[in-house]
Amino acid sequence: RKEVEQDPGPFNVPEGATVAFNCTYSNSASQSFFWYRQDCRKEPKLLMSVYSSGNEDGRFTAQLNRASQYISLLIRDSKLSDSATYLCVVNIGNSGYALNFGKGTSLLVTP
C-alpha cells in the first residue's frame, strides 16, 4: 500500500475556475505535510506547508485533517501558469526525515 495516495487526474479546468486536490496518507505517525509543485522536466518546488489549523497563501488554501489522514489543496481563480503537477508530500520522521511522495495530480488550466 502506498504511503501517500492522490488522484492522478488530469484535471482540465478553464481560467478562473476553482479546483481542489485531495490526498490521503496511511501512516498516522506522519509529522509534517507539504504540497509541492513540479513543472514538466523540472525539479519539485515547495508550494506550501500544511498545518492542522489550515493555511492560506494568496489563491492557495491547504487543509489537514489528522483524524481522517487527509490533506487538501484548493486553488481559486486558476491561472494558466498554475498548470503543473501537484505533489502531496508527507514526512513520517523516519529514514533521516526523508519525504514520502504521492504520484502527483496533473493540472491543466486552459484559456
Looking at the Cβ atoms of 49 and 69, the one nearer to other proteins is 49
Looking at the Cβ atoms of 39 and 77, the one nearer to other proteins is 39
Q: How far is the CB of 39 from other proteins (least distance, A)?
A: 12
Q: How far is the CB of 96 from other proteins (least distance, A)?
A: 4
- Write out the residues near other proteins by the rule CB under 8 A: 4, 31-32, 34, 42-46, 49, 87, 91, 93, 95-99, 101-104
Looking at the Cβ atoms of 18 and 45, the one nearer to other proteins is 45
Q: How far is the CB of 46 from other proteins (least distance, A)?
A: 5
Q: How far is the CB of 2 from other proteins (least distance, A)?
A: 8
**C-alpha cell, 51:** 498545518
Please check whether residue 65 is in contact with residue 22, taking contact to mean a CB–CB distance below 8 angstroms. no
**C-alpha cell, 8:** 492522478
**Rounded to whole angstroms, how far apart are CA atoms 14 and 110?**
5
* DSSP codes joined into one string, 13-57: EETT--EEEEEEES-TT--EEEEEEE-TTS--EEEEEE-TT-EEE
